[in-house]
Amino acid sequence: MSGYYRWLGLPVEASGYAHSIDDGLLLIHAAMLAIFVLWGIFFAYLLIRYRRKDGVPAKRDSGHGGWGSLVPDFIVMAFEIGLIVLYAIPVWSRIKVDEPMGKVNTIDIVAQQFAWNVHYPGPDGKFGKTDPKLVSFTNPVGLDLKDPAAKDDIVLANEIHLPVGVPTLFNLSSLDVIHDFSIAPFRLKQDIVPGMMIPVWVTPTRIGTYELFCAQLCGFGHSLMHGRVIVESEKDYQAWLKSMAPAQAASQPANSANSF
Amino acid sequence: METNHHNQSWMKKYVFSTDHKTIGLQYMFTALSMLLIGFIFVMIMRWQIAFPYAPIPVLGRWLPARLAPNGVMTGAFYNSLGAMHGTIMVFFGIVPLAVGAFGNYIVPLQIGAPDMAFPRLNMLSYWLYLTASILLLSSFFLPGGAAQSGWTSYPPLADFNPGQTAWIVAMLFVITSSLLGAINFLTTIINMRAPGMTLWRMPVFVWSEFVASVLLLLAFPPMEAGGVLQLMDRVLHTSFFLPKEVMIFGVLYKGSGGGQPLLWQHLFWFLAHPEVYILVLPPIGIVAEIIANNTRRPLHGYKIIVSSMLFIGALSFVVWAHHMFLSGMSPILANFFLVTTMIISVPSVALLTCLIYSLHGGSIRFNTPMLYALAFLPMFGIGGLTGLPLGLTPTDIYLHDTYYVIGHFHYIVVTGSIMAMFGGLYYWFPKFFGRKMNDTLGQIHFWGSLICMNGIFFPMFITGMAGESRRLWVPTAQLHDLPVQHWNVVSSVSAWALFLFQLPFIYNFFHSLFHGEKTVENPWHATTLEWTCPSPPPHGNFTKPVRVYRGPYEYSLPGAHRDWIAQDIESEAAA
Amino acid sequence: MSSEAAVMDVPHVGASTGVTNAKLGIWLFLASEVMLFSTLFTTYIVLRLGSSSWPRGWNVLNVPLGTVNTLVLITSSVTVVMAYAKAIERKRGQFRLFMSLTIALGVLFLILKGFEWGQHFHNGEFPSTSIFLAAYFTMTGLHALHVIGGLITNSILLWLSETQWDHPLFIGRVEAAGLYWHFVDIVWIFLFPALYLL
């Protein structure tokens, strides 16, 4: 099943769980439309049938009996219980509660007004130590260059490279205010709260370039806080990693002034 | 008889009055002005949304350069207008109109009371509200400008952004005003009902104000505490909402740290979710009154309606975190709030169902108030239905903070609450001023508003579904928004057209105030007590002692020689 | 005019409840105050649980002075009840004595509190110094504002006892003021152990 996300005007599906969110959206909107149309017909019928006519008095009893009017309620309730138990809790748990299994690609994201700093562990697979006291315009994530693990770390601004088909774990943190890490084609969205490290994961399934944007008001430059997500084949991704390796972490600063 | 107030000075009668009717009208004029101001703000914003970076026509020349250099609004000014629009509409527009104006004027009349329980406290509430309004609006002229952190004012942004201190102080004033008002309403409704006015004989509108007042009384204090803490953060540099080591534009903030940004969100939404029901319940009460009156039959399921309101009121205290599914709060906790959110939709459906069934068997009169009440039903339905994908956690991941949310809650509060309150205005205008508003102008206002409101808010579902975030100063900066940008233009043009359709209303209002057709005390042939006293009611309201003998909606009683029997009529024969 | 005036009077006792408006009003007000202070206590708990280091209250705050202040407020709760009792017994002189005592104890509480704050400022301890001190100053400060509010109300009643001693609502007003004063006292009884002893 694919392609029907276009019926709702949704962007392309590019992650492993995008279709389960779209399934829900489609199902709920179909139900909403059905409820509204049926209900609208009934409403229109009532307005026409019971419009004021001379000599026809109103009937005090609607013939439905007081508590009988709760029937729609029971239908709605049953539908909602079904949605909660069969859809919402399982899907939510899979996306937000469970951790991905197997080989995982880990990336640290450090948000600031109004840029995204993307921190890769580099070839050694280990993140260098970071310290907020070391943060500066040339060292946006506060990387401690004395740490040997930091030597090969890669820090990019507003650009994320991801290998297709590999689960990626993002550790989200913020230097200043609340931001929101949002990639619409992945159906991925998560607030980033300063003082917290919030993990989110996604498995990109479609090669292409997508947009990363901030979805939580973060100041006057909020709407300009966006970047690129480049999903590429494993081979291209490895080639890109190699090309980045010699580069010093500090030579790729995120400069918020660049955003304008 | 004008025995009691003929010697009152003009100031005492119209400005520093303790009469609930005068205070109600003061609330009404102030709240309507605030609604207009909030609407003007959003009309300016909609220019930037429709045509990013284009100079604002006409107005752009008058705005100072720090807000709009060369007539193009800055991101900070856009955020100020956004924060002010939300704050004004919610706290300074709709609530004062629904509770302060309609509640003040109608509740004592409907329960047969001569005034509110604490008339001087009532006056104080109004003056605190007016002070808060003036303070909030004048914050545009303060050095930092007006608040720009959204109406939700999430710290740490709100701890550092300019203009926020004035926002908090204004909020503390308006909270105090609302708390005093809530105490007054509850005491009045509990203690001052006329003999015979048992709880199950109270009109639905009184019940709705009762529930809204309970919510105000218990939900506002946590927000007040939050406001005090945020004020401390800003003025005395505490760190209630700041973790250690926050860096603002490359400068390390030297606070003690140890606070939690999420704490504010909990305090804020603990108020702000019940607040939604404060915005919605009194308008539902108004709709119920108008529907009962114009179908000429009792409301269907009066007790279900009242119980649903009480149930909604109680539940509204345990759903707040559905605004915070993606806030960084524990995702397991989200399941709890998912369930409570789905439960609260059940009494809401019951309310709507009862109101629709009330049409069944009626003899429906399509006058202007009734058109508004009828339009409320499907519009509120759309608002409620679109809440479903937002309340369900997985679909909220995608729709959270998009224009879909904006569309959803505007369908609730604009095409819902505001439409209902327009209906209430046309319905009770004869009681307020002893004159009727013009019906033709009312119909123009109604159809124009209904079409334009849908033109504004329906496109938001489309842009939201395409992934467009809310609160974007330059929507076109984000690539996925480009294909739906034309819908933003549709929204904006509809907003400006909506303004044009308010002009007949404004003219109608002021013209009818002085030259409208004079009416009798009960022009709609209604049954509730406010229609048994003169229009407008004198000081002290009722010219003879009131005693209640029957329920609120005794329409079309078999055997009676006319189709309505007021609550204070003892026997059908006397009718 | 006379029959009409009877209709227009605002009734002061609820027909169905038998409770005066003033009493109902003050209980509703206290309900909202309970929400206000319980929010602050919840905030205190959340911040404390989320904090990596939280000082022991007795290491930072002046426990003896806090204890004295607790006794002062408890005593004032007794005197305000005495004042109410004397108002019922219609003994104006004794009412004035106990009301004055209540006010004096309230003022004493504020003086001691001010002294305590002064000590902290002298030691360079301000609300911005630590999250604990931030909570301490905010909560005791808000409580002190409530004490001041109570002092104003009590003083007005003392002053009104001169001219309105026989007003039908006078005793009800004393009762309402007394309820409020008890609430202020109870808040302190929660604040003192939470901040100083735990």
Cβ contacts (< 8 Å) between B353 and chain A: which residues?
69-70, 72-73
Average pLDDT over residues C165-187: 93
pLDDT number for residue B2: 40
d(CA B228, CA C143): 13
C58-197 belongs to CATH 1.20.120.80: yes
Of A70, A136, A198, the CB nearest to B328: A198
Long-range contacts of B66-70 (CB under 8 A, 24+ apart): B66/B145, B67/B145
User: Where are the strands (E) in B2-85, listed by range?
Assistant: none
Please state the CATH superfamily assignment of the domain spanning residues B18-574 in this structure.
Answer: Cytochrome c oxidase-like, subunit I domain (1.20.210.10)
d(CA A37, CA B162): 48
Do B360 and A80 make contact, defined as CB atoms within 8 angstroms? no
**pLDDT tier at A246 (50, 70, 90 boundaries)?**
low
- Judged against a pLDDT cut of 70, whether residue A247 lies above it is answered with no
B384 within 8 A of B348, measured Cβ to Cβ: yes
pLDDT number for residue A253: 45
Q: Would an 8 Å CB–CB cutoff place B499 in contact with chain C?
A: no
- Judged against a pLDDT cut of 50, whether residue B18 lies above it is answered with yes
On average, the pLDDT of chain B sits at: 92
Per DSSP, chain C holds a count of helices (H) and strands (E) of 7, 0
**pLDDT tier at A126 (50, 70, 90 boundaries)?**
confident
Distance from CA of C143 to the nearest CA of B (A): 12
pLDDT number for residue B5: 47
B4-18, B92-106, B315-329, B345-359: segment of lowest average pLDDT: B4-18
A122-136, A182-196, B142-156: segment of lowest average pLDDT: A122-136
Cβ contacts (< 8 Å) between A50 and chain B: which residues?
295, 359-364
d(CA A177, CA A76): 40
ipTM of this complex > 0.85? yes
Predicted structure pTM score: 0.93
Average pLDDT over residues B517-533: 93
- Judged against a pLDDT cut of 80, whether residue B4 lies above it is answered with no
Please give the helix or strand (H or E) that residue B517 lies within, else none: strand B517-518
Per-residue pLDDT tens digits for B156-208: 999 998 889 999 999 999 999 999 999 999 999 999 999 999 999 999 999 99
Q: Would an 8 Å CB–CB cutoff place B238 in contact with chain C?
A: yes
**pLDDT tier at A63 (50, 70, 90 boundaries)?**
low
**pLDDT tier at A260 (50, 70, 90 boundaries)?**
very low
From chain B residues 164-203, the ones with a CB under 8 A of any chain C CB are 179, 182-184, 186-187, 190-193, 195, 198
pLDDT number for residue B106: 96
pLDDT number for residue B574: 53
DSSP per-residue codes, chain A:
--SGGGGGTPPPP-BTTHHHHHHHHHHHHHHHHHHHHHHHHHHHHHHHHTB--TT-PPPS--SS-GGGGGHHHHHHHHHHHHIIIIIIHHHHIIIIISPPPSS-EEEEEEEETTEEEEEE-TTTT-PPPB-GGG-BTTBTT-B-TTSGGGTT-EEEESEEEEETTS-EEEEEEESSS-EEEEEGGGTEEEEE-TT--EEEEE-B-S-EEEEEEE-S--STTGGG-EEEEEEE-HHHHHHHHHHHTTS-GGGS---GGGG-
pLDDT number for residue C7: 43
pLDDT number for residue A243: 87
- Judged against a pLDDT cut of 60, whether residue C74 lies above it is answered with yes
Q: Is the dihedral of CA A68, A73, A76, A82 positive or negative?
A: negative
Query: Which 8-state DSSP code applies to residue B326?
Result: T
Pairing of strands A159-163, A154-157: unpaired
Instruction: Give the CATH number of domain A105-259; options: 2.120.10.30, 2.40.440.10, 1.20.1440.120, 2.60.40.420.
Output: 2.60.40.420
pLDDT number for residue A255: 44
Cβ neighbourhood burial of B278 (10 Å; 0-12, 13-18, 19+): buried
More confidently predicted of C9 and B461:
B461
More confidently predicted of A48 and A2:
A48
Per-residue pLDDT tens digits for B70-119: 999 999 999 999 999 999 999 999 999 999 999 999 999 999 999 999 99
pLDDT number for residue B411: 97
pLDDT number for residue B3: 44
Identify the residue among B5, B120, B238, B266 best suited for mutation to test binding to C, counting C beta carbons within 10 A and taking the highest: B238
- Judged against a pLDDT cut of 70, whether residue C137 lies above it is answered with yes
* Partners of B479 in the β-ladder: none
- Judged against a pLDDT cut of 70, whether residue C90 lies above it is answered with yes
Q: In what order do the strands lie in the sheet with A188-192?
A: A159-163, A226-232, A208-214, A179-183, A188-192
Q: Would an 8 Å CB–CB cutoff place B513 in contact with chain C?
A: no
Do A73 and B400 make contact, defined as CB atoms within 8 angstroms? no
Do C4 and B182 make contact, defined as CB atoms within 8 angstroms? no
Average pLDDT over residues B213-239: 95
Do B245 and A51 make contact, defined as CB atoms within 8 angstroms? no
Query: Which 8-state DSSP code applies to residue B468?
Result: P
Count residue pairs from A and B with Cβ separation < 8 A.
Answer: 290
Cβ contacts (< 8 Å) between A24 and chain B: which residues?
389, 392, 394-395
pLDDT number for residue C5: 39
Do C142 and B255 make contact, defined as CB atoms within 8 angstroms? no
pLDDT number for residue A64: 52
Of C6, C35, C130, the CB nearest to B256: C130
Per-residue pLDDT tens digits for B196-218: 999 999 999 999 999 999 999 99
A92-101, A250-259, C43-52: segment of lowest average pLDDT: A250-259
Range with top average pLDDT, A125-139, B60-74, C85-99: C85-99
Residue appearing with tokens 């946590």: B222
- Judged against a pLDDT cut of 70, whether residue C141 lies above it is answered with yes
pLDDT number for residue C10: 62
From chain B residues 353-412, the ones with a CB under 8 A of any chain A CB are 353-354, 356-366, 374, 377-378, 381-382, 385-386, 388-389, 392-395, 397-402
Residue appearing with tokens 């938001």: B460
Cis status, amide bond into B156, omega within 30 of 0: yes
B325 within 8 A of B334, measured Cβ to Cβ: yes
Distance from CA of C34 to the nearest CA of B (A): 9
